Amino acid sequence: MLNTEPNIAAPDDFYEALLALHQDLSPEQGRQVDARLILLLCNHIGDPAVLRQAMARAREGIVPAGHDATLAARA
């Protein structure tokens, strides 16, 4: 079960560190750091049910405005 109750002892310290992690990075570099961070944390959590809940919550309320680069195939 995904824990959405407070779980971080010093929230302001954590948030500052999260922003410091991205300091002076270009958008591409920021995305690179985020991707690594997400992978590290997901592996640490491990529980697939928790990961799916977190993914669903993260996507909530976002209407897709882009599209993946695939094409329909018919033969």
Of residues 3, 7, 26, 43, which one binds another protein by CB under 8 A? 43
Among 52, 20, 16, CA closest to 33: 20
> Closest separation between CB of residue 34 and another protein, Å?
8
- 17 contacts another protein (rule: CB under 8 A): no
Of residues 38, 41, 45, 55, which one binds another protein by CB under 8 A? 38
- 68 contacts another protein (rule: CB under 8 A): yes
* 37 and 21 Cβ atoms separated by less than 8 Å: yes
Cβ neighbours of residue 48 under 8 Å, at least 6 residues apart? none
